[in-house]
């Protein structure tokens, strides 16, 4: 309870707003775990440091299993990303995300947002789920996800030549041509992987930073989906 000069009492409360729907939160964690698993398994495939004991039995399939699970996780990431894109454009619960687009074209919000991260300004009031810096970062991440998925499918189709591999080769054979060869496809796939490796700790740090500086549910919003905003009642 806060007193004002005209003897009115102002009661400050927190109001809950649903910022992310259940499907959006579920797909966020699916993609997060798949990306982490893909990074770990991808580096092992590139530099296998475990070797099964040599014997005459057909049991030395560690590399094959690693590659198979890597491919499965990759297709899970592709499916989850497609569904997530659908939710962004068509789900009613994703309206706060769509509203965020308008602020990208507002230079004042940009300056205030950057100032808030530099500790020289207060964070501006934003409409929607993301400030412009967040929105552009996630947009770039979506584009990189598309690149790593397309290059991954191209690499997959060059190893498996029947079934899904044959289908992938028919639809994504142009990727190898555009990139100038399979070696370049692998190099692009590897470089984008490093972008994800850099992004993950920065993303976790900024989520915690925002939650400490602006305690409005930022750290657990991808679990509960709830954002808390000030509600002033006179």
Mean pLDDT for all residues in the chain: 87
Burial of 34 (0-12, 13-18, 19+ CB in 10 A): buried
Instruction: Assess contact for 97 and 88: CB atoms under 8 A.
Output: yes
Return the beta strands (E) in the chain as ranges: 2-3, 9-18, 226-233
Given a cut of 70, is residue 5 above it in pLDDT?
A: no
What mean pLDDT comes out for the span 174-192?
95
Given a cut of 90, is residue 227 above it in pLDDT?
A: no
What is the band of 3 on the pLDDT scale with cuts at 50, 70, 90? very low
pLDDT attached to residue 234: 45
What mean pLDDT comes out for the span 140-150?
96
Q: How far apart are the first and last CA of the chain?
A: 10
In the block, residue with structure tokens 């967040």: 134
Given a cut of 90, is residue 7 above it in pLDDT?
A: no
Burial of 50 (0-12, 13-18, 19+ CB in 10 A): exposed
Domains and CATH numbers, the chain: 15-48+61-231 (1.20.950.20)
Given a cut of 60, is residue 130 above it in pLDDT?
A: yes
What mean pLDDT comes out for the span 200-214?
88
Given a cut of 60, is residue 207 above it in pLDDT?
A: yes
pLDDT attached to residue 2: 43
Q: Distance between CA atoms of 45 and 48, rounded to whole angstroms? A: 6
pLDDT attached to residue 79: 97
Is pTM, for the whole model, over 0.85? yes
For 45-62, how does the pLDDT look when each residue is reduced to its tens digit (9 = 90+)? 988 888 777 777 766 788
pLDDT attached to residue 1: 46
Q: Say which residue, 157 or 128, is predicted with more confidence.
A: 157
pLDDT attached to residue 9: 52
Given a cut of 90, is residue 209 above it in pLDDT?
A: no
CB atoms within 10 A of CB 223: 12
For 76-114, how does the pLDDT look when each residue is reduced to its tens digit (9 = 90+)? 999 999 999 999 999 998 998 999 999 999 999 999 999
């Amino acid at each position: 309870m806060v007193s004002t000069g005209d003897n009115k009492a102002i009661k400050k409360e927190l109001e809950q707003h649903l910022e992310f729907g259940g499907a959006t939160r579920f797909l966020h964690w699916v993609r997060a775990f798949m990306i982490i698993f893909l990074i770990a398994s991808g580096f092992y495939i590139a530099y296998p440091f475990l070797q099964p004991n040599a014997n005459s039995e057909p049991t030395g399939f560690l590399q094959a299993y690693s590659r198979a699970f890597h491919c499965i996780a990759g297709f899970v990431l592709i499916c989850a990303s497609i569904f997530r894109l659908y939710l962004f454009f068509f789900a009613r619960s994703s309206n706060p995300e769509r509203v965020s687009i308008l602020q990208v074209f507002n230079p004042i919000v940009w300056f205030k947002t950057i100032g808030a991260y530099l500790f020289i300004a207060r964070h501006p009031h934003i409409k929607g789920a993301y400030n412009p810096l967040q929105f552009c970062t996630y947009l770039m991440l979506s584009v990189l996800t598309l690149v790593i998925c397309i290059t991954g499918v191209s690499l997959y189709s060059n190893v498996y030549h029947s079934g899904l591999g044959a289908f992938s080769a028919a639809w994504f054979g142009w990727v190898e041509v555009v990139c100038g060869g399979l070696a370049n496809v692998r190099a692009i796939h590897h470089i984008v992987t490093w972008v994800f490796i850099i992004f993950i700790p920065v993303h976790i740090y900024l989520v915690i930073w925002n939650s400490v500086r602006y305690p409005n549910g930022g750290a657990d919003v991808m679990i509960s989906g709830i954002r808390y905003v000030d509600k002033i009642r006179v």
